Amino acid sequence: MRILFVCLVVAGAVRAQNPNAANGKRLFEVKACYECHGWRGQGGLAGARLAQTKLSLQAFRNVLRNPPPSNMPPYRTAILTDQEVADLFAYIQSFPAPEPPNRIPLLK
């Protein structure tokens, strides 16, 4: 039993070091992240910008687990495991960088 536990911990640690952005994309939808943060993490009325986040994985996880006073739900481990947080973070990091507004005619 103890051996199995150690194996699981090691396996978890290994997986966390290999985040799965595809799974993160799935989680971004089913866990309703896009509702407030937008499909590209652009932020808006109800949620902060996630695209091009400057947070580390650790800081990102901390915010998810214990969000600051806002309408952000707390995503504790019962809702998102550490591995899933890593997957989600990997997906968020994959959002393309936006064009500078002065290169978009309608935003000049």
Partner 1 sequence: MANHALGRRKFLKRAGAGAAAGLAMAPQSPAQSTGSAEGGTGPVKPGSDFMLDVIRSLGIEYCAANPGSSFRGLHESILNYGGNQNPELLTCLHEESSAAMAHGYAKIEGKPMMIMVHGTVGLQHASMAIYNAYCDRVPLLIVAGNILDANYRRGNAEWVHSVQDVAAMVRDYTKWDDSPVSLTHFAESAVRAYKVSMTPPYEPVLLVADGPLQEEPIPEQNLRIPKLVLAAPPQGEDGAVKEAARMLAAAENPVIVAGRMARSQQGIALLVELAELLQARVQDQRLRMNFPTAHPLYGNPGVLPMNPNVSDADVILGLEAQDLWGVTHKMTPVNRFGMETQSTVKPGAKIITISAVDLNHKSNYQDFGRYVEADLAITGDAEATLPALIEEVKRALTSDRKNIIEERGKRVAESNERARKQHRELAAIAWDARPISTARLAAEIWAQVKNDDWSLVSWDRMMSAWPTRLWDFSKHYQFIGTHGGSGIGYGLPAAVGAALANKKRGRLTVNIQTDGDLCYAPGVLWTAAHHQIPLLNIMHNNRAYHEERMYLALLGAKYDRSPEKSDIGTALKGPNIDYASVAKGFGMYAEGPIENPNDLGPAIKRAVERVKKGEPVLLDVVTQPR
Distance, CA of 87 to CA of 107 (rounded, Å): 33
Assess 44 for contact with partner 1 (CB under 8 A).
yes
Which of 51, 55, 57, 63 contacts partner 1 by CB under 8 A? 51
- CB burial readout 18-54, b (16+ within 10 A) else e: ebbbebbbebbeebebeebbbeebeeeeebeebbebe
CB-facing half-sphere around the CA of 57: CA atoms within 13 A: 15
**Comparison of 17 and 71: residue with beta carbon closer to partner 1:** 71
**Comparison of 17 and 100: residue with beta carbon closer to partner 1:** 100
**Comparison of 20 and 43: residue with beta carbon closer to partner 1:** 43
CA distance to 3, 22, 28, 48, 103, per residue, from 39 (Å): 42, 14, 8, 12, 22
Residues in binding contact with partner 1, number by CB under 8 A: 36
Instruction: Fill in the per-residue mask, 61 to 100: x = in contact with partner 1 (CB under 8 A), - = not in contact.
Output: ------x-xxxxxxxx-xx------------------xxx
Site residues (vs partner 1, CB under 8 A): 30-32, 34-36, 38-47, 49, 51, 67, 69-76, 78-79, 98-101, 104, 106-107
